[in-house]
Amino acid sequence: MSKKPLIIDVHGHYTTAPAALGAWRDLQIAALKDPSQQPDPKSLKISDDELRESIETNQLKLMKERGSDLTVFSPRASFMAHHIGDFETSSTWAAICNELCYRVSELFPDNFIGAAMLPQSPGVDPKSCIAELERCVKDYGFVGLNLNPDPSGGHWTSPPLTDRHWYPIYEKMVEYDLPAMIHVSTSCNSCFHTTGAHYLNADTTAFMQCLQGDLFKDFPTLKFLIPHGGGAVPYHWGRFRGLAQEMKKPLLQDHLLNNIFFDTCVYHQPGIDLLTKVIPVDNILFASEMIGAVRGIDPETGHYYDDTKRYVAATPNLSEEQRYKVFEGNARRVFPRMDAALKQKGL
Amino acid sequence: MSKKPLIIDVHGHYTTAPAALGAWRDLQIAALKDPSQQPDPKSLKISDDELRESIETNQLKLMKERGSDLTVFSPRASFMAHHIGDFETSSTWAAICNELCYRVSELFPDNFIGAAMLPQSPGVDPKSCIAELERCVKDYGFVGLNLNPDPSGGHWTSPPLTDRHWYPIYEKMVEYDLPAMIHVSTSCNSCFHTTGAHYLNADTTAFMQCLQGDLFKDFPTLKFLIPHGGGAVPYHWGRFRGLAQEMKKPLLQDHLLNNIFFDTCVYHQPGIDLLTKVIPVDNILFASEMIGAVRGIDPETGHYYDDTKRYVAATPNLSEEQRYKVFEGNARRVFPRMDAALKQKGL
């Protein structure tokens, strides 16, 4: 590759939104007990300057320092908290959070492009999420979405992702050519720490649900991105190959890897080395989830744990051409609407 | 090392018990709806010859082929199914299953040594398990136990392992110097495939619960063995180091690694390479869980997926002295009663 690749981070959340956002959410939650106190969404005022500052001093600063160009940006995952309230609660909250990400993408069009949070609610038909998703695509130019396989927050009361329950979302994804990151939110089950157990468990669970089923026969162009390096999956790739074999499924390459992709949110070099050794390079997309679960500096390296670009750059398992795929090429393929937006800018 | 190490497999289940065992369990389950049909445990007749055959044609055959010497042998994990029935159900069932493992250990004393299944039941005080555990240690010479952190079978209704709820078991473990393998059973939650999601999720969850808490301050000599290579933990070791740092916990080495150990049930070479690179060698114990979750032959290697001895032997990350620790030395240290039993035999 003679051209320097565009560095696209496909997993960013707005974890640094101004405090007014959390304060409004607190009022909304308090009002669940006293509906007369329900706050008006219009009462939430966040100026462009506040948005700018929250980004320039955080994500954008780190992107410049680390050398990434564009982040697929969605509302803070742990704040989705779909288990709180009912559909109306989630609907109002998702609309607010998505709009903020849209405004960020308008303020920094070269650096951020949106992905939608859905107004999911436990026990509610996923069809109810379509209107918000359409709005995010049509009005906001969003290029992906986050799908929570467990809106109950750690009780896992929804059917598996292969169930027809979820098909209305998949139909819309296929229609708009949108990939979904399969991403849970806060755990309200005290057994599961949110970012240390629930997130990783959900990644493994989602992959295994797809392995057991035949979802991609019904939706051959559907695309799932499994975050956090695929949970436990690449480390146990032999186990999953063996389980597929026992279930008389095709090889994973054929059964799942036309539709399932993994990000690089694995916070140490040996993990990225394993990921890039085991998973075909066409299925790996660069991501950091920066200013997320793990914000500190690794005393063993002197660098941020979540500075995953360093690990991808340093791994001996990738040629330059393969590194281009991980940093840019695969993201363009998995997010066709982002690719189109980039091309429109001559990129 | 001049002496060839004893190869000790610390994770074996009696997955090949004669069919009469499953038939008896079916009657027991059917009787939950019609207590008058409750089968008598004495009605289950399995001869020594049947036991011998079930072992000689399966585990022992593979142990000889692969070159392992001694297996820590416990009842089939997926058959524990603690979510079925009540304490009485589990109590009768555990007694039967433990006795069979004891009989195997008596028939093949050089090759098998027992570990106990507990008669856990959702919502029942773990104290109720002590009598069976004592019997297994005193009458059967068992050297370890399997502790199910989720007797509900995928609904996670028990408190975390750091909760005082579990302390009666820990007190007995410390008294007898027994390690516990943290091992769930069948998932009855359709979201979680038993061996492809629930097992691995439980491993990750258990580790994170310990990371969040300070259990080992209360029980400095307590030992937990996390099976299946620690679930997602070694692959995400940087994440866990970073989370501990954010929670102001000591380094994982000091916070957890005097008490937590990982087995080698990871079914491909890159996984074992990562495990042995990331986790200190003193915390890794050889195991295969043979004839378990993944029974096939890997077409990429021509060998059984679960022939983990090959991966441990082949990894470039271990010196001969370190390999001795993984195959024998660490197991003797973590299972002091097994070490004593071996020494009594002059081994």
Model confidence pLDDT, tens digit, residues A108-130: 999 999 999 999 999 999 999 99
* Inter-residue contact B68 to B288 (CB < 8 Å): yes
How crowded is the C-beta side of A111, counted as CA atoms within 13 Å? 16
Distance CA A192, CA B234 (A): 18
Considering only CB atoms, B270 lies closest to which of A196, A232, A278, namely: A278
In A107-146, the residues whose Cβ lies within 8 Å of chain B are none
Min Cα distance A6 → chain B (Å) is 26
Question: Using one digit for the tens of pLDDT, what is the confidence trace for A326-345?
Answer: 999 999 999 999 999 999 99
If we measure between CA atoms, which residue out of B182, B116, B181, B187 comes closest to residue B156?
B187
Dig out the tokens for B70 from the structure.
């001694």
- Asked if B279 reaches chain A (Cβ–Cβ under 8 Å), the answer is no
β-strand partners of B261: B225
B306 interaction partners in chain A (CB closer than 8 Å): 242
> CA A224, A226, A229, A230 torsion: positive or negative?
negative
- Asked if A228 reaches chain B (Cβ–Cβ under 8 Å), the answer is yes
Query: According to the model, what pLDDT value does residue B322 have?
Result: 98
Residue in chain B nearest A242 by alpha carbon:
B294
Query: According to the model, what pLDDT value does residue A1 have?
Result: 45
- Asked if A266 reaches chain B (Cβ–Cβ under 8 Å), the answer is yes
CATH topology of domain B8-344: TIM Barrel (3.20.20)
Dig out the tokens for B75 from the structure.
């009842």
B236 interaction partners in chain A (CB closer than 8 Å): 200, 228-229, 266-268, 271
Residue of B158, B188, B201 best to disrupt the A interface, most CBs of A under 10 A = B201
Q: What one-character DSSP code corresponds to residue B304?
A: B
β-strand partners of A97: none
Considering only CB atoms, B238 lies closest to which of A192, A211, A268, namely: A268
Which amino acid does the sequence have at A128?
A: S
Question: Using one digit for the tens of pLDDT, what is the confidence trace for A163-206?
Answer: 999 999 999 999 999 999 999 999 999 999 999 999 999 999 99
Q: Is the pLDDT of residue A3 over 90?
A: no
In B197-226, the residues whose Cβ lies within 8 Å of chain A are 197, 200-201, 204-205, 208-209, 211-212
Considering only CB atoms, A239 lies closest to which of B201, B273, B294, namely: B294
Q: In Å, what is the CA distance from A32 to each residue of A90, B199, B207? A: 12, 37, 35
Residue in chain B nearest A228 by alpha carbon:
B236
Where chain B has pLDDT below 70, the residues are: 1-2
Dig out the tokens for A318 from the structure.
């990738």
* Among B289, B300, B320, B328, the one annotated catalytic: B289
Considering only CB atoms, B190 lies closest to which of A150, A160, A274, namely: A160
- ipTM surpasses 0.95: yes
* Among A99, A132, A289, A328, the one annotated catalytic: A289
Min Cα distance A211 → chain B (Å) is 9
B156 interaction partners in chain A (CB closer than 8 Å): 154-155, 189, 191-192
Query: According to the model, what pLDDT value does residue A4 have?
Result: 85
**Does the model's pTM come out above 0.95?**
yes
Question: Using one digit for the tens of pLDDT, what is the confidence trace for A4-45?
Answer: 899 999 999 999 999 999 999 999 999 999 999 999 999 999
If we measure between CA atoms, which residue out of B111, B103, B4 comes closest to residue B341?
B111
For B207, the enclosing helix (H) or strand (E) is helix B199-212
**B289 included as an active-site residue:** yes
CA B203 to chain centre: 11
Query: According to the model, what pLDDT value does residue B113 have?
Result: 98
